[in-house]
Amino acid sequence: MSKFPILVAALLLSCASASAAQFYVSSAQGIGLRPGTALDASKPLVLKQGQHVTLISDTGVTLTLDGPYDKPPAEDKSQGVDVAATLNGLVTQQGRRVAGVVRGGGSVANLPDPWLLDASQSGNVCLLDGQEAVFWRPQATSATAFAIMPADRSWKAQAPWAAGADRLAITGLASVHGNAVYFVSLNGTESAITVNAVPAGLANDRVRAAWMADKGCQSQAKAMLRTLQ
């Protein structure tokens, strides 16, 4: 008996498995699912009453599910919100939420890179796990005194921000990490920023853009989508 049909079948099965759609856990309540956990979209997800999860598909669709629930998330993907469609039509009006998926109150800056942290206003920012924090300011014509401290003000780090430079890396200056609040000061004007961690294992930049949008990092999400165009 020829082994060729068996090899072909095995190859097709392998390809199907490798290309299986996935969802990533963005947040979960009442259930032990860690943010960034990958779920097979074709397998049932069981949620009890009072359990809630927000999932992001590998194509950038955000889906919120509430228990009781017992079926594959792929069956409800069409009910999710596509990050590109949401952010391409984003209009921030008086700091209100847009389309139920984008959170945060500040204006949407035109960031030149999706991984820059806006130091000029309070709000949410997103930092890739393991990546150093690089701050950005929209007006770079003059020198600025920069300072940063954690929410408990247990330490304070300072550095000059040279005229003409719109970015400031704080390597060796301070340790900034995700899921924490910091106060950033520019020439004495202080802003509070919430740093959200972006898991390094997310599949692609469309997922990362959706993750940023779900965490309220609108400017960074829009900048990430621009890299896909």
Higher pLDDT, 223 or 104: 223
Shortest CA distance to 39 belongs to which of 59, 54, 25, 27?
25
Which tens digit of pLDDT belongs to each residue from 11-52? 333 333 334 689 999 999 999 999 999 999 999 999 999 999
pLDDT band (50, 70, 90) for residue 101: very low
How would DSSP label each residue in 40-63? ETTS-EEE-TT-EEEEEETTSEEE
C-beta separation of 115 from 211 below 8 A: no
Which tens digit of pLDDT belongs to each residue from 173-227? 778 999 999 999 999 999 999 999 999 999 999 999 999 999 999 999 999 999 9
Mean pLDDT over 77-92 rounds to 75
pLDDT band (50, 70, 90) for residue 103: very low
139 three-class SS = coil
Rounded to whole angstroms, the Cα distance separating 228 from 206 reads 8
Q: Is 151 exposed, middle or buried (0-12, 13-18, 19+ CB in 10 A)?
A: exposed
The full set of domain ranges for the chain reads: 4-79, 84-226
Percentage above 70 pLDDT, the chain: 83
Rounded to whole angstroms, the Cα distance separating 87 from 205 reads 14
pLDDT of 14: 38
pLDDT of 88: 65
pLDDT of 172: 76
What tokens were used for 84? 């590109």
What residue type is 50 in one-letter code? Answer: G
Residue 64 CB neighbour total at 10 angstroms: 17
Rounded to whole angstroms, the Cα distance separating 48 from 28 reads 12
